């Protein structure tokens, strides 16, 4: 029996999301989430999909990522899917920041760990959590290959004209300041799936991918290669997000420091955690915002309008960057589920060849689908993302090749 299972770990600052997949048929054996790590009210939710079982929930304190992973391992073991299983081929880790060093999935050794650690200054919110996840997983199964799949990797093809900020070159280089981009695993997966939906090879199509989750980013993909993306040095730049401001005048920061007497850490928290939709209207969930708009709530409506205005600007910008656009693909929680966001985002863009068909846009489903009118110049599509499957696929392919 050859080992065919991959455990995918996505360790965030206060959460761990995981999935166990069987790569013989890409089926999901188990999935779950540990939330609010480090708080008194941590929660573990585990769904044993293979067993067709009910989700199990556990509430109580989970002190750190180490304890979280051990709790996950225990849950998996209850279904006979423990980390000690000989069928486990590898563990794949989502690593948010790979800088310019990592352009592809990489088997983790001490040198790779050291490099991910060296990148902490450009990813202070994300890389430390990713590192803890890797270290704990390695301690639990030291013999097993562990693979890092980087959010930044897909964007390393961006030309210098898109990747550089117009700031003093020596200063920028000394501090590794440039636009790295994130959600690359999703942008890569969705741009490929969009080509497939059009019945074409990735090399033949130019796609604008709109990854609209709690974090949100847009990318311009020419012939399968990323040429621009909206996130930058960190995942703060670009679109309006659930809790992040996206683009602002950088002078807002000087102003808040000098006139608002806020510390750099306070401003960091403000722009990353208390801005975006939640800062504008108190809610970051698009369902709740739509519900409030339906009740005539003006603040929710303004938040929605600001979100859409920014999104439209990026669609227009990436039409200009690409020249010829074959498809615009909506993905992630908001992109896959909100027909209102999709309709509003392309409304009035007929001169760019963009439109949605209201009936097609209203259809719900898990499969990639077209929502543009049949005669449209540019295809508009809903293409569900699957970052875990993509991480598992890349992890398994690398392990197979190295064995």
Ligand X SMILES: CC(=O)OP(=O)(O)O
337 binds ligand ADP (CB under 6 A): yes
Q: Which does 287 bind (CB under 5 to 8 A by kind): ligand X, Mg ion, ligand ADP, none?
A: ligand ADP
Does 119 engage in binding with ligand X (CB under 6 A)? no
Per-residue x/- track, 154-183, ligand ADP (CB under 6 A)? ------------------------------
Contact indicator for 346, 294 with CB cutoff of 8 Å? no
Q: Establish if 235 lies at the interface with ligand X (CB under 6 A).
A: yes
User: 182, 189, 314, 318: which one contacts ligand X (CB under 6 A)?
Assistant: 182
Distance from chain centroid for Cα 19: 16
Residue 285 in contact with ligand ADP, rule: CB under 6 A: yes
* Structural contact between residues 102 and 150, judged by C-beta atoms closer than 8 angstroms: yes
User: Starting from the edge strand earliest in sequence, which strands make up the sheet with 369-370, in order?
Assistant: 225-229, 216-222, 206-212, 327-331, 379-382, 369-370
Is 287 a residue that touches ligand ADP (CB under 6 A)? yes
CA 105 to chain centre: 16
CA distance 243 to 284: 6
Among residues 98, 105, 133, 213, which is the contact residue for ligand ADP, using CB under 6 A?
213
Secondary structure class of 8 (helix, strand, coil): strand
DSSP state of 235: T
Residue from 157, 214, 269, 272 in contact with ligand ADP (CB under 6 A):
214
213 contacts ligand X (rule: CB under 6 A): yes
Q: How far is the CB of 242 from Mg ion (least distance, A)?
A: 11
Span near ligand ADP by CB under 6 A; candidates 44-52, 101-109, 280-288, 368-376: 280-288
The two three-digit tokens of residue 318, written as one number: 């990436």
Residue 333 as a binder of ligand ADP (CB under 6 A): the answer is yes
Is residue 305 part of the annotated active site? The answer reads no
Q: Total residues contacting ligand X (rule CB under 6 A)?
A: 8
Least Å from the CB of residue 235 to ligand X: 4
Contact 306, 289 (CB under 8 A): no
Q: Are 89 and 23 in contact (CB under 8 A)?
A: yes
Run of H or E residues at 331: strand 327-331
Options 23-31, 139-147, 209-217, 272-280: segment touching ligand X (CB under 6 A): 209-217
Spatial distance between the Cα atoms of 390 and 386, rounded to a whole number of angstroms: 6
Chain residues binding ligand ADP by CB under 6 A are 213-215, 242, 284-287, 332-334, 337-338
Q: Which active-site residues does the annotation give?
A: 151
């Amino acid at each position: 029996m050859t080992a065919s299972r991959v455990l995918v770990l996505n360790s965030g600052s206060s959460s761990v999301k995981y999935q166990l997949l069987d790569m013989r048929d890409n089926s999901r054996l188990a999935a779950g989430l540990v939330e609010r790590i480090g708080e008194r009210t941590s929660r573990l939710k585990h769904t044993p999909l293979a067993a067709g079982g009910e989700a199990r929930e556990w509430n109580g304190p989970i002190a750190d990522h180490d304890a979280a992973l051990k709790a996950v391992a225990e849950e998996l073991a209850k279904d006979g899917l423990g980390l000690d299983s000989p069928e486990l081929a590898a563990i794949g880790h989502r690593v948010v920041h790979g800088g310019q060093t990592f352009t592809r999935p990489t088997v983790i050794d001490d040198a790779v760990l050291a490099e991910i650690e060296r990148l902490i200054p450009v990813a202070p919110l994300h890389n430390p959590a990713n590192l803890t996840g890797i270290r704990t997983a390695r301690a639990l199964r030291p013999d097993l290959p562990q693979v890092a799949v980087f959010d930044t990797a897909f964007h390393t093809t961006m030309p210098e004209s898109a990747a550089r900020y117009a700031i003093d070159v020596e200063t920028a280089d000394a501090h590794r300041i440039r636009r790295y981009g994130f959600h690359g695993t999703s942008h890569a997966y969705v741009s490929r799936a969009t080509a497939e939906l059009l019945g074409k090879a990735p090399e033949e199509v130019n796609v604008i991918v709109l990854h609209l989750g709690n974090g949100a980013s847009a990318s311009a993909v020419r012939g399968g290669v990323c040429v621009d993306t909206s996130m930058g040095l960190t995942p703060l730049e670009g679109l309006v997000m659930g809790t992040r401001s996206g683009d602002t005048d950088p002078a807002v920061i000087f102003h808040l420091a000098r006139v608002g007497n806020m510390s750099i850490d306070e401003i960091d928290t403000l722009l990353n955690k208390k801005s975006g939709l939640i800062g504008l209207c108190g809610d970051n969930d698009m369902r709740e915002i739509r519900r409030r708009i339906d009740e005539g709530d003006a603040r929710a409506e303004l938040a929605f309008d600001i979100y859409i205005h920014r999104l439209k600007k990026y669609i227009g910008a990436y039409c200009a960057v690409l020249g010829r656009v074959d498809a615009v693909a909506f993905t992630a929680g908001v992109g896959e589920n909100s027909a209102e966001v999709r309709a509003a985002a392309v409304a009035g863009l007929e001169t760019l060849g963009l439109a949605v068909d209201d009936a097609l846009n209203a259809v719900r489903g898990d499969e990639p689908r077209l929502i543009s009118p049949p005669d449209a110049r540019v295809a508009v599509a809903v293409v569900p993302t699957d970052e875990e499957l993509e991480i598992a696929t890349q992890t398994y392919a690398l392990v197979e090749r190295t064995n």
